[in-house]
Amino acid sequence: MARCLALFFVFTCVNRVLYTRGSCGARSEPTVPQGAAGCGCGNLKRDAALEPVEDRTASADPDDKYSRGANERSSEAQGDEKKTQSQMVLISGGQFLMGTDNPGIAADGEGPQRLVHVDSFYMDIQEVTNQQFQSFVNATAYITEAETFGDSFVFEGILSESVKNQITQAVAAAPWWLPVKGANWRHPDGPDSNIANILAHPVLHVSWADAVAYCSWANRRLPTEAEWEYACRGGLKDRRYPWGNKLNPKGQHYANLWQGDFPNHNSAEDGYIKTSPVKSFPANAFGLYDMAGNAWEWTSDWWTVHHTTDQQHNPTGPPSGTDKVKKGGSYMCHKSYCYRYRCEARSQNTPDSTASNLGFRCVSRGQQ
Ligand SMILES: *[C@@H]1O[C@H](CO)[C@@H](O)[C@H](O)[C@H]1NC(C)=O
Ligand SMILES: [Ca+2]
Ligand SMILES: [Ca+2]
């Protein structure tokens, strides 16, 4: 398929045979603090602007892809789906300090710290799992964007040798990200992998529209960044992590992150080289699991690094943009290059980006 794959910091088209269409316009490289450039769990994206128009028309509206099937569901099937959907917890509204004046990665727009109010909402206690996503797809015949595009980004460290050997291109600034044909939510580590033994792990390789489609089907929606961050903090003020300020209180791991020397050696001291089953680590004070680490989570907000310090009520981000905000970091994050598993940390992707460390969870106004 004719597409160009872009990184935020570097744009490169390595293989002209595969990427026959479109010239690769260079993006300007913003100044970034040490530790942010080349972040392995950060800025991977498809370049939506370079997509051929005809590829995007037929299935551009996610509603087209799933509503018909959803209407044909039997009531028995609906009961089964209900059972597999995530439990939710009430997040009582209130005021909190969003962002920080002491940013880990200033270029990400973590600051300034600002007073924000959010109304009460319910939030999935866990990331949406493969099984939950499968029940959605079974009921609706929904086809994800990665399936339509025919490929997705997979971290080199989890690919089989045979798949790796077939790949002749990489992203210059982050050579550990490989565009893999046949990688999608059903085949998260590449075409020769499947989800049979990881049904309780977060679904991956889902675009922003895929996440929105799932949440709407479940009568839910994606959280705003403010809701996500408020929930992440679990009522704690000025703490970096959902559980407090220490990464490993009493020597315990509280999140599925990367230990060791990225990207070459993952010691998996926390027990997991890749994703973990959801709820494998302690919940925060609101009863939410894996807010930091495991899979990155899409939010509904468009990305900006400029925030007003005027007090905000239920902010929803800029009205438009090119990238969506994702939160929480992933199993690939290590302080040395991706210090983004903090509540105020943030990163961005184009909405059609999909990768082996990016998932989501849903929220709703009322109880489900
Ligand atoms: C989806 O359908 C497949 C094939 O019928 C079945 O094996 C699987 O258990 C279903 N998944 C869910 C979550 O209902
Ligand atoms: Ca880990
Ligand atoms: Ca997460």
116-136: pLDDT as tens digits: 999 999 999 999 999 999 999
Edge-to-edge order in the sheet of strand 88-91: 88-91, 121-124, 363-364
Selection from 238, 242, 237 nearest residue 255 by Cα: 242
**Rounded to the nearest whole angstrom, what is the distance from the C-alpha of residue 93 to the centroid of ligand 2?**
32
Centroid of chain to Cα 228:
12
* Of 78, 135, 199, best ligand 1 pocket probe by most atoms within 8 Å of the beta carbon: 135
Neighbours of ion ligand 3 (CB under 5 A): 290, 294-295, 328
Longest CA–CA separation in the chain, Å: 55
Question: What pLDDT is attached to residue 368?
Answer: 77
Residue 148 beta carbon below 6 angstroms from any ligand 1 atom:
no
Sign of the dihedral through C-alpha 298, 300, 304, 310: negative
Given this model, what pLDDT does residue 45 score? 58
| pLDDT for 50 | 29
**Residue 41: pLDDT over 70:** no
Percent of the chain past pLDDT 90, that is, above it, reads 73
Q: How many CB atoms lie within 10 A of CB 256?
A: 29
Asked whether the beta carbons of 178 and 159 are under 8 A apart, the reply is yes
Q: Residue 38 above 80 pLDDT?
A: no
Q: What is the pLDDT of residue 78?
A: 53
Dist CA 208 CA 302 (whole Å): 11
For residue 181, pLDDT over 70 is answered with: yes
Tell me which of 50-59, 243-252, 256-265, 276-285 is least confident: 50-59
Q: Does 135 contact ligand 1 (Cβ within 6 A)?
A: yes
Query: Once rounded to an integer, what is the mean pLDDT over residues 217-221?
Result: 97
HSE-CB for 223 with a 13 A CA cutoff = 31
Q: Does residue 3 have a pLDDT over 80?
A: no
For residue 172, the model assigns a pLDDT of 81
Q: Find where tokens 């027990």 sit.
A: 271
Ligand found nearest the CA of 327: 3
CA of 273 relative to ligand 2 center, distance in Å: 5
Q: List alpha helices for the chain, DSSP H.
A: 53-57, 62-71, 75-84, 130-140, 145-149, 161-166, 208-217, 225-233
Q: Which tokens is 289 given?
A: 């699991």
Task: Judge whether 104 and 339 are in contact, CB under 8 Å.
Answer: yes
Taking the CA of 341 as reference, the closest ligand is 3
Looking at residue 137, what is its pLDDT?
Answer: 98
100 C-beta closer than 6 A to ligand 1? no
Predicted confidence (pLDDT) at residue 34 exceeds the cutoff of 90: no
With a pLDDT cut of 70, the percent of the chain lying above it is 77
Helices 130-140, 75-84: crossing angle, 10 deg rounding:
160
DSSP letter for each residue of 45-96: EE-GGGS-HHHHHTT-SHHHHHHHHHHT--HHHHHHHHHHSPPEEEE--EEE
Q: Ligand 1: does its nearest atom lie under 6 Å from the Cβ of 184?
A: no
- Nearest-angstrom CA–CA distance, 309 and 113: 7
Question: Tokens standing for 138?
Answer: 């079974």
Residue with the bigger pLDDT between 80 and 288: it is 288
Q: Are strands 121-124 and 324-327 parallel, antiparallel or unpaired?
A: unpaired
Phi/psi for 165 (5° steps) reads -65, -20
- Measured in Å, residue 332 CA sits from the centre of ligand 2 at 7
Q: How confident is the model over 250-259, as a mean pLDDT?
A: 98
- The closest residue, in CA terms, to atom 14 on ligand 1 is 135
- Confidence at 332, pLDDT banded by 50, 70, 90: very high
CA distance 296 to 338: 12
Identify the nearest ligand to the CA of 127 by its number: 3
Query: Would you state the pLDDT for residue 82?
Result: 60
| Range 262-283 average pLDDT | 97
Query: What does the pLDDT average to over 95-104?
Result: 97
Residue type (1 letter), 316: T
Question: What contacts 196, CB < 8 A, 6 or more positions away?
Answer: none
Average pLDDT, the chain: 83
pLDDT of residue 61: 38
Q: Does 76 have pLDDT greater than 60?
A: no
- The answer to which of 63-67, 199-203, 361-365 has the lowest mean pLDDT is 63-67
Distances (CA, A) of 33 to 233, 247, 364: 25, 22, 36
Residue 171's pLDDT is what?
A: 80
Q: Which amino acid would we find at residue 40?
A: G
Ligand nearest to the CA of 276: 2
Question: What pLDDT is recorded for position 17?
Answer: 26
Judged by average pLDDT, the poorest of 132-136, 335-339, 349-353 is 335-339
- pLDDT of 32 > 80? The answer is no
Q: Say what the pLDDT of residue 282 is.
A: 98
- Range with top average pLDDT, 17-26, 37-46, 165-174, 343-352: 343-352
